[in-house]
Amino acid sequence: MNDHYTPVYSHSSLNMKSSAIRDMMKLTGNPQMISFAGGLPGPEAFPLEELKDIIDRTIAEHGSSVFQYGTTEGYTPLRESICDLMYHIYGLSASPDNILVTSGSQQALYLLCKVLLNPGDAVITENPTFVGAISCFRSFMAEIHPLAIGNSGMDPVELDKKICELIIAGKKPRFIYTIPSIHNPTGITVDNSRRKAIYSVASKHDLMIVEDDPYGMIRYDNKHVVPFKNIDTEKRIVYLGSFSKTVSPGMRTGWLNAQEETVRRCTIAKQGEDTCSHTMSQFVIHEFIDTGSIYEQIERVKKIYRDKRDLMTDAIDRIIPSALYETPGGGLFLWLKFPENINTMTMHEKALKRNVAYVSGNSFYPGQGGENEMRLNFSFSSPSDIEEGIMRLGEVIEEESAKQ
């Protein structure tokens, strides 16, 4: 008899890797550490007073139902106000029947994968792409086929070529996963004409596009881009939205906007996941949209992050001139490229010793790549920590460069 029981883990569990970013969340507990690693909103960006008032009001008005289980599809008034929000911001029309409220948009992606993917299925992603999406696809044993994005997004000709190759190999992709607005990690945005060209390729091969859009509403360069969903005449887009960056990630509220059959199947999958999303969060976010407060909040958040972005880019220009970047038009992140001799992965330990954290570029590549790149978050740290953290990072880079 064994004196220690060792569970037999599933193939899917063995295929999963822990996210470098989630692992690094632990670092934020160390008060000495300046963390540019996680995707945390700035603490000052949360509308605390307003949320407190809404919570009090909601409990006074709705009583015990605020603490009750809700329907799996989500609180109907919230589904309606999500439609209003998307119409107001993007001019996008949807019916509440097209909306499933989820526990963050991460869950929306997970449910979608659950209803679409069998082990070994091919998925096309951008290269680099969101770490949480890579984890999700791996957990469903999908084959990830990344496509380079440069500064403009997937090249439609290359996309077409890739799909043809996969079809010839008997692996028609199940969908194309894209973060077209303020891409995580690179911050790039795909312009409207390229969106149309990518949509045409998807249409030619009869493919679904999964449009992940947690940052599109916090675009501060006023560039006019419309979601893929706005040009979706064939109902082949599944749009994923989130309140994590506009209101609060701790309220774990996101949504999926898709054709009714996809919503129905994801709802059934959700019944076996978490039954329903957080009831109180749904009441509160509904009220926050319904009173119009969300629009002022979005403007506030944009201003806070634009200022912090400028502080960080200014510090980098002064302190780490070897770092190259495209100024992101919104969002929470800066994507840096260094000369080839800088390896952000091996350098990481040294940075942590100096109490500064970042995410190495390779975490965002499903295959090889990103060794001389890194993602920095500018939304979470205070202005003085942004300056100090970039100083620390500059010392590490200088040391690393001198070593070569």
The site for ligand PMP (CB under 6 A) is made up of: 39, 104-106, 130, 132, 179, 184, 212, 214, 242, 244, 249, 254
Cβ of residue 161: shortest distance to ligand PMP, in angstroms? 25
Q: How far is the CB of 193 from ligand PMP (least distance, A)?
A: 23
Cβ atoms of residues 332 and 404 within 8 Å = no
Residue indicated by tokens 């995707």: 39
39 vs 370 by CB, closer to ligand PMP: 39
Closest CA to 129 of 145, 116, 118, 141: 145
For ligand PMP, give the closer residue by CB, 39 or 153: 39
Q: Which is nearer to ligand PMP, 19 or 71 (CB)?
A: 19
- Specify whether the CB–CB gap between 34 and 357 falls below 8 A: yes
Fill in the amino acid letter for 109: L
Nearest residue (CB) to ligand PMP, 101 versus 312: 101
Cβ nearer to ligand PMP, comparing 330 with 394: 330
* 102 vs 104: CA distance, rounded Å: 6
Rounded Cα distance, 45 and 244, in Å:
11
Shortest Cβ 182–ligand PMP spacing (Å): 9
To the nearest whole angstrom, how small is the minimum distance from the Cβ of residue 391 to ligand PMP? 27
Residues 97, 216, 181: CA angle, nearest 5 degrees: 110
Compute the least distance from the CB of residue 257 to ligand PMP, in Å.
14
Closest separation in Å from C-beta 78 to ligand PMP: 15
In the complex with ligand PMP, the residue whose CB is nearer, 220 or 394, is 220
The CA distance from 57 to 54, in Å, is 5
CB of 254 vs ligand PMP, minimal distance in Å? 4
Packed helices 104-116 and 260-271: angle between N→C axes, nearest 10 degrees: 100
Least distance from ligand PMP to the Cβ atom of residue 404, Å: 33
Nearer residue to ligand PMP within complex by CB, 282 or 342: 282
Give me the residue whose beta carbon is nearest to ligand PMP: 104
**Least gap, CB of 94 to ligand PMP (angstroms):** 18
Nearer to ligand PMP, 246 or 362 (CB): 246
Structure tokens at 184: 């995580």
Which CB atom, from 101 or from 396, has the smaller least distance to ligand PMP? 101
Is residue 266 within 8 A of residue 108, CB to CB? The reply is yes
Identify whether the C-beta of residue 142 lies closer than 8 Å to the C-beta of residue 163: no
